[in-house]
Chains A and B, each alone.
Chain A
Amino acid sequence: MPNPPHHANTHTRRTVLKSTTVAAASTALLPDAASGAASPAAANPGDVVRVTLSVNGRSRVVDVEPRVTLLDALRERLGLTGTKKGCDRGECGACTVLVDGERIKSCLTLAVMRRGSEITTVEGLADGDRLHPVQAAFIRHDAFQCGGCTSGQIMSAVACVREGHTGSEAEIREWMSGNLCRCACYQNIVAAVADAAREVRR
């Protein structure tokens, strides 16, 4: 996974982006396209569109250009940096989130296309201080090293368990194949997924 350029200075950059968003929002000149979601809602070049996203059960409003991916909207506009960017081209799986319960790659969808969808990110899995069984299993099995792929692996694993594709090690490997791990923790990831599946079934 090539390291995204903003890993090193995430904090500063995020802070800057946050303040721009506030500034932009306060101009109140933004076309509200959320209301026109059903009809062909056109936005002019350079236009910023107001989009209401439902993330982890909370309604969140973002002002984005139509070309902004769901991944960038989550990370850079909503500050939800648990979802990672590895490749920005659908190959690594680090950006996996659930949309209406289905796992997808958030780098391959636009924020404007996800109005009205229920989005779950890794931040939305735990119940307060109680980790989701998949998160707990990843810790028990030491299923990561650098952690770069981990939130994507966990989101994919949540769906994999729910889909019931955990019958054997081979089946888990096949159905987790959209998530790469540069640290090659595959053995432990597979064990964690199998264990989480047993836990969930109990």
Chain B
Amino acid sequence: MDFLRPTTLAEALAAKAERPDLVPIAGGTDVMVELNFDHRRPPGLLDLTGIAELARWSADGDVLRVGAAVPYARIVQDLGDRLPGLAMASRTVGSPQIRNRGTVGGNLGSASPAGDTHPVLIAGDAVVEVASARGARSIPADEFYLGVKRSALEPDELITAVRLAAATGPQQFAKVGTRNAMVIAVCSFAVSLHPERLRVGAAVGSAAPTPRRASAAEEFLSAELTSAGLWESREPLPDSVQRRFGELVAEAASPIDDVRGSAAYRRHALAVLARRSLGWAWREHSGGGNERCA
């Protein structure tokens, strides 16, 4: 097995163009498990940890650009105020040791339907930046995932960053698992309120072959909030609205029965997660303080 450690993105892209079979490694928290158990024998590894430009985040006005190789621990530490949804999801990944190494780029690279950052990226209308020696392109998060562990990334491309707007309203992420640490989500849910656009973002994880936007739920709630003037009045949300939102979120999923849970359980749990997360987010919008769940 070859091992390449470029120190610039240009070098990495040149290597990937010449040898698309090279497997990138960032935090290694997915790749190493595959190597140690011989599930994968790549002809070579492309170590991305020497590339400083991938390990940085920056702000361009209200838009944050988080480098693909920024570890979760740094997102939690540095971006909790501006990207609360992403920070919440990051805080639930694995354990402290995993969060010191694991990255959003790796979560996207694996494209597991259970990856925790995916619903947050979709709900926050994030854009995935990818690059190859041929040039760079931006892929909206909800077009990035194509199937179980399949993505829109071409073999010669690398993920360079995710771009998303700083929060303008409350964001929540919640997942169901058997314990708090080191569990693959049975199902997960993210919601973002965008008051300035009178829009709600909502997405589910671990409940379909790909993470998925809950479009009907988004449209229903955005319309309800706008027509009842609730964005401005910030009055409590009617129970019926919260419940209907939960139902529509559950309908967006097409879950399976597996060792972690049955499809019926996942649908039920998603409805509950969605209703509760919306409740937390709305209370924060109404000035009831910022509630955190993780």
Tell me which residues across on chain B come within 8 A of A38, comparing CB atoms.
Answer: 5, 7, 50
A104, B100: Cβ atoms closer than 8 Å = yes
Alpha-carbon distance between A131 and B80 when the two chains are bound, in angstroms: 37
Q: Which of A40, A45, A179 contacts B1 (CB 8 A)?
A: A45
Q: Which of A44, A69, A160, A177 contacts B32 (CB 8 A)?
A: A69
B96, A110: Cβ atoms closer than 8 Å = no
Q: A89-B33, A103-B100 are in contact. Are A108 and B95 (CB under 8 A)?
A: no
A90, B3: Cβ atoms closer than 8 Å = no
Alpha-carbon distance between A93 and B180 when the two chains are bound, in angstroms: 15
Tell me which residues across on chain B come within 8 A of A113, comparing CB atoms.
Answer: 5, 25, 28, 47, 49
Alpha-carbon distance between A110 and B25 when the two chains are bound, in angstroms: 10
B207 within 8 A of A: no
Q: Which of A37, A88, A96, A178 contacts B36 (CB 8 A)?
A: A88
Alpha-carbon distance between A103 and B37 when the two chains are bound, in angstroms: 23
What is the total of A-B residue contacts with beta carbons within 8 Å? 113
Interface residues in A, total, Cβ within 8 A: 41
Q: A66-B3, A93-B95, A177-B95 are in contact. Are A40 and B100 (CB under 8 A)?
A: no
B94 within 8 A of A: yes
A159 within 8 A of B: yes
A54 within 8 A of B: no
Alpha-carbon distance between A96 and B7 when the two chains are bound, in angstroms: 27
Q: List 29 A-B contacts (CB under 8 A).
A: A37-B5, A38-B5, A40-B4, A40-B6, A41-B3, A41-B4, A42-B2, A42-B44, A44-B2, A45-B43, A66-B45, A67-B35, A88-B36, A89-B32, A90-B29, A90-B98, A102-B73, A103-B96, A104-B100, A108-B28, A108-B29, A109-B28, A112-B5, A113-B5, A165-B96, A174-B181, A177-B96, A177-B182, A178-B97
Other than the given A113-B47, A178-B95, 13 more pairs (CB < 8 A) read A38-B7, A43-B3, A45-B1, A90-B32, A103-B96, A104-B97, A108-B98, A109-B101, A113-B28, A156-B97, A178-B96, A178-B98, A178-B181
B47, A178: Cβ atoms closer than 8 Å = no
B98, A105: Cβ atoms closer than 8 Å = yes
Q: Which of B7, B25, B49, B182 contacts A39 (CB 8 A)?
A: B7
Interface residues in B, total, Cβ within 8 A: 35
Alpha-carbon distance between A43 and B1 when the two chains are bound, in angstroms: 7
A49 within 8 A of B: yes
A76 within 8 A of B: no
Alpha-carbon distance between A178 and B35 when the two chains are bound, in angstroms: 21
Alpha-carbon distance between A105 and B94 when the two chains are bound, in angstroms: 12
**Interface residues of B: mostly helix, strand, loop or mixed?**
mixed
Alpha-carbon distance between A116 and B47 when the two chains are bound, in angstroms: 14
Tell me which residues across on chain A come within 8 A of B25, comparing CB atoms.
Answer: 110, 113
Q: Which B residues lie at the A interface, using CB under 8 A?
A: 1-7, 11, 15, 25, 27-29, 32-33, 35-37, 43-45, 47, 49-50, 73, 94-98, 100-101, 180-182
Tell me which residues across on chain B come within 8 A of A55, comparing CB atoms.
Answer: none
Tell me which residues across on chain B come within 8 A of A112, comparing CB atoms.
Answer: 3, 5, 47
Q: Which A residues lie at the B interface, using CB under 8 A?
A: 33, 37-45, 49, 65-67, 69, 88-91, 93, 96, 102-105, 107-110, 112-113, 156, 159-160, 163, 165, 174-175, 177-179
Tell me which residues across on chain A come within 8 A of B96, comparing CB atoms.
Answer: 103, 156, 159-160, 163, 165, 175, 177-178
B32, A109: Cβ atoms closer than 8 Å = yes
Q: Which of B1, B7, B32, B50 contacts A108 (CB 8 A)?
A: B32
What is the CB-to-nearest-CB distance from A31 to chain B, in angstroms, rounded to a whole number?
11
Alpha-carbon distance between A39 and B44 when the two chains are bound, in angstroms: 15
Tell me which residues across on chain B come within 8 A of A177, comparing CB atoms.
Answer: 95-96, 180-182
A67, B1: Cβ atoms closer than 8 Å = yes
Tell me which residues across on chain A come within 8 A of B4, comparing CB atoms.
Answer: 40-42
- Closest chain A residue to B73 by CB distance? A102
Q: A89-B36, A113-B49 are in contact. Are A43 and B2 (CB under 8 A)?
A: yes
B182, A178: Cβ atoms closer than 8 Å = yes
What is the CB-to-nearest-CB distance from A74 to chain B, in angstroms, rounded to a whole number?
15
